[in-house]
Amino acid sequence: MNRLLGSAVRAAAIVLGRRKRRTADQAPKRILVVKTHAIGDLLMVTPSIRAIRLLFPDAHISALTGKWSAPILVGNPDIDELLEFPDEALFGHKIGALSRLSRGLRALRFDLATIFQPSAPVQMLIALAGVPERIGFDLNGSGASLTRALAWSPNSERFIGDYYMDIPRALGFTGDAPHSVLALADEERAAASHKYLAPSLTQDDKIVAVCPGGGNNPRDSVPQKLWPAERFAHVAEVLARETGARILLLGGRADVDVLDAVASHLSHNAIRPVGTSLRELACLISSCDLIISNDSAPVHIAAALSVPCVAIYGPSNPHAVAPNASTSHIVASEAPCSPCYSNERFPGCAEPYCMEGISVDTVLEASRAALGIE
């Protein structure tokens, strides 16, 4: 069915006036990078964006993503233009909004689109936008509307960031994978520190951040990713006692309940910024000595900023989605059913046995190692 639909999209693109593809000796002048959602995934794409920039230094590179994730690309030196769209247009199947988006992209006359997800609707949207060369991933026939489809197997032992690098490799990139890119201005960091940390901390204080939330993005909600709140609190209490560190509770608006739960189990007041934006969250993470987090955006933010992080994985496959940064310390469930989820829609499970099986001692051991203490 996907292949039949892809053929129809190709035909429609021709009718709508698709331009000729470039020849092998022509460098693209206008490149569209597409990754629609998920902050961590978008950060895993940034090495590929840098590789594309290195391949085509004179090209105009635009990145298309949803408003939820877009702030993570602000200031990225490899991108000339950031294009945002409402996430609900895609995940709510709002045909009118998607049609307007497609027409807007058509007007920008891209030569090449690099599409970093095996989503047939997204790939077809770009085809209907008249981009003549479209390279991306195929999963069970999803890539029928691409002009070049690459293999995609997200539940394998291969790091998804390395899969993403297959796109620049297919375009001719031969170097090592660059580091993830998260550009934060000095002024941003200073403003976030002054607003949220300066009232409670001195410059010499060690900071351990606890990020007990996550599991939400515009497509999916996966509460099974959450390690129990009282265990986060226990780890925080021990580290504060052993190292003198101040505890910082970090999370987004959707994490209020779990942050409340952690705070209720602490015997002393932690620093708890309220109302932080995504970029303020990143700035605060950049000030920390250690992050302890579920599988969620802070893990990838910490990796991009080279901040030590203990990342706790249950349903997710850490081989596939955990950052391979030297500063990342991975704690993975040993439950026989784990992992069951990797970068696609969550299949669901009745009880989060995998996260329940991860002990406080295991996370404490990883945290001490990340802090460089015995």
* pLDDT tens digits along 131-164: 999 999 998 899 999 999 999 987 778 899 999 9
The reply to whether 127 and 247 lie within a common domain is: no
Question: Which residue did the predictor score with more confidence, 24 or 224?
Answer: 224
Q: How far is it, in rounded angstroms, from Cα 2 to Cα 141?
A: 6
* Residue of higher predicted confidence among 94 and 206: 206
In terms of pLDDT, which residue wins out, 24 or 4? 24
Q: Are 94 and 219 part of one and the same domain?
A: no
Sheet holding 328-332, edge to edge: 246-249, 207-211, 290-294, 309-313, 328-332
Residues 115 and 71 in one domain: yes
Per-residue pLDDT at 26: 83
User: Do 31 and 165 share a domain, yes or no?
Assistant: yes
Note whether 197 and 333 are same-domain residues: yes
* The pLDDT of residue 366 is above 70: yes
Confidence of residue 260 (pLDDT cuts 50, 70, 90): very high
In this structure, is residue 175 part of a structural domain?
A: no
Residue 181 lies in a domain: no
> Would you state the pLDDT for residue 16?
44
Among 170, 198, 233, the domain-final residue is 170
Q: What is the mean pLDDT of residues 362-371?
A: 96
pLDDT computed for residue 54 by the predictor: 98
Residue 193 and residue 141 in one domain: no
Average of per-residue pLDDT across 308-316? 92
CATH of the domain at 287: 3.40.50.2000
Q: Omega of the bond prior to 339 within 30 degrees of 0, cis?
A: yes
pLDDT at 191: 96
pLDDT band, residue 65 (cuts 50/70/90): very high
Please report, as a single letter, which amino acid is at residue 310: V
Per-residue pLDDT, 15: 43
- Measured CA to CA in angstroms, residue 101 lies from 61, 128, 237, 367 at distances of 18, 10, 49, 45
Does residue 103 register a pLDDT over 60? Answer: yes
Q: What is the pLDDT of residue 351?
A: 67
Tokens for 65, please give them.
């993503």
Q: What is the domain extent for residue 49? A: 2-170
| Per-residue pLDDT at 5 | 47
Predicted confidence at residue 347, as pLDDT, reads 63
* Domains of the chain: total: 2
Instruction: Note whether 137 and 217 are same-domain residues.
Output: no
pLDDT at res. 225: 84
pTM: 0.90
Q: Kindly list the distances between the CA atom of residue 92 and the CA atoms of 25, 35, 88, 97, 139, in Å, as whole numbers in the listed order.
A: 41, 17, 5, 10, 22
What does the pLDDT average to over 99-128? 95
d(CA 358, CA 174): 40
pLDDT confidence of residue 371 = 95
If asked whether residues 151 and 216 sit together in one domain, one would say: no
Task: Assess if residue 179 is contained within a domain.
Answer: no
Is the pLDDT at 179 greater than 80? The verdict is: yes
Q: For a pLDDT cut of 70, what percent of the chain falls above it?
A: 88
Q: Quote the mean pLDDT of the chain.
A: 88
DSSP, collapsed to helix, strand or coil, labels residue 254 as: helix
Q: What is the pLDDT of residues 284-309, one digit of tens each?
A: 999 999 999 999 999 999 999 999 99
Percent of the chain residues past pLDDT 90, beyond the cut: 66
- Give CA angle at 217 (340, 144), nearest 5°: 70
pLDDT of residue 291: 97
Boundary of a domain, candidates 170, 194, 220? 170
Confidence of residue 14 (pLDDT cuts 50, 70, 90): very low
Residue 217: pLDDT band (50, 70, 90) is low
Q: How many CB atoms lie within 10 A of CB 174?
A: 8
Q: Do 159 and 308 sit in the same domain of this protein?
A: no
Neighbouring CB atoms inside 10 A of 261's CB total: 16
28-32, 222-226, 282-286: lowest mean pLDDT where?
222-226
Is 90 exceeded by the pLDDT of residue 220? no
